[in-house]
Amino acid sequence: MTEARTRNKVMSVDDAVARLEDGMTIGIGGWGSRRKPMALVRAILRSDLKDLTIVSYGGPDVGLLCAAGKVTKLVYAFVSLDSIPLEPLFRAARENAAVEVEEWDEGMFQTGLRAAAQRLPFLPMRAGLGSDVMTHNPRLRTVTSPHDDGEELVAVPALDLDVALVHMNRADEHGNAQYFGPDPYFDDLFCLAASQRFVSTEQIVDTAELTADAPVQTLLLNRMMVDGVVETRNGAHFTTCVPDYGRDEKFQKTYATAAADPASWVEFEQRFLSGDERAYQDAVAAFHAEQSGGN
């Protein structure tokens, strides 16, 4: 672990992405279309990065990165938009064999993150036995209990990450960060499994303010788990970041419809993804103004 951690870790989305390198294994927090660090994902889309291995409880992060040709390998248990079961860009990449895939069971996936977080080579579990998930993945091996039961278990290998990207409701400049929603997902495990950790947040506040109206248990991440803090308002858009905002279902539907058709996708990319984060947020605002009956 590094020592003499810098006190102020605030940086821009592009500063954070500039720390990433081609070929890295990048874990992305959140779950499906929920509290995804989308501003950081969009910054990767704008970058020259390539050959990434993405490890994710997949949502639009996975679809967008695959469609942009950033991904060589994908490690996941599912990829979904929640209210829209299939992520169309992921589906296209998977059906065109555009990326190498490693498909896990969700419990295994968590166990692999836990093993990495505990710096163990593997952890045993039962999930996956008898499933073809095991058949198609030579990394998933079994181990026999040395105790009297002699049971055969899955030896889930550690999901070691070079980088973790997560999005939280609030953070301070040191990297203490908290969530206000109903579920922490696995963001703490992603950070503990990674060598470099970047947190985007709706708002950076003073340390004391974090717990002024919220219990200390909402602080999922502490400063020892974080290397960079990025303030990105609406930075999880269009995924949920409750209670700050829910999922932008209207936008997600437009995204999914466009993604299912190559010609519409070019148009969508042109309109929303050709500029920086501010341009994206402006285009989203214009989209809603249009939808609500303006011109």
- Distance in Å, CB of 5 to another protein, minimum: 5
Distance CA 232, CA 220 (A): 18
Among 219, 230, 236, 241, binds another protein (CB under 8 A): 219
Query: In this complex, which beta carbon is closest to another protein, that of residue 144 or of residue 222?
Result: 222
DSSP sequence for 243-295:
TTB---HHHHHHHHHHHTSHHHHHHHHHHHSSS-HHHHHHHHHHHHHHHTT--
**Residue from the set 97, 212, 216, 263 that interacts with another protein by CB under 8 A:** 216
Which of 50, 119, 136, 250: binder of another protein (CB under 8 A)?
A: 119
Q: Is 176 in the site for another protein (CB under 8 A)?
A: yes
Distance CA 247, CA 229 (A): 23
Q: Classify residue 185 by burial, with Cβ atoms within 10 Å: 0-12, 13-18, 19+.
A: buried
* Span of 2-10, 89-97, 133-141, 248-256 interacting with another protein by CB under 8 A: 2-10
Distance CA 124, CA 237 (A): 36
Q: Does 8 bind another protein (CB under 8 A)?
A: no
220 touches another protein (CB under 8 A): yes
* 175 conformational bin, left if phi > 0, alpha if psi -120 to 50, beta if neither: left
Contact with another protein (CB under 8 A) among 64, 221, 236, 259: 221
Choose the binding region for another protein from 46-54, 57-65, 111-119, 252-260 (rule: CB under 8 A): 111-119
Residue 170 binding another protein, by CB under 8 A: no
Sole window of 4-12, 64-72, 103-111, 231-239 interacting with another protein (rule: CB under 8 A): 4-12
Task: Kindly tell me the burial class for residue 167, based on how many C-beta atoms sit within 10 Å of its own C-beta (0-12, 13-18, 19 or more).
Answer: buried
Task: Read off the amino acid at residue 105.
Answer: D
Out of 94, 114, 197, 237, the residue judged to bind another protein by CB under 8 A: 114
Among 224, 260, 273, 283, binds another protein (CB under 8 A): 224
Does 121 sit behind a cis peptide bond, omega within 30 degrees of 0 on the bond before it? no
Of 9, 70, 223, 237, the one binding another protein by CB under 8 A: 223
According to the binding rule CB under 8 A, does residue 212 interact with another protein?
Answer: no
CA angle 2, 42, 246 (to 5 degrees): 100
Strand pairing category for 194-204 and 161-171: parallel
| Token duo for residue 181 | 């929603």
Closest distance between another protein and the C-beta of residue 137, in Å?
Answer: 25
Which CB atom, from 74 or from 221, has the smaller least distance to another protein?
221
Q: Give CA–CA dist 168/183, Å, rounded.
A: 11
Residues lying near another protein in the complex (CB under 8 A) are found at 1, 3-5, 7, 114, 117-119, 174, 176, 192, 207, 216-217, 219-224
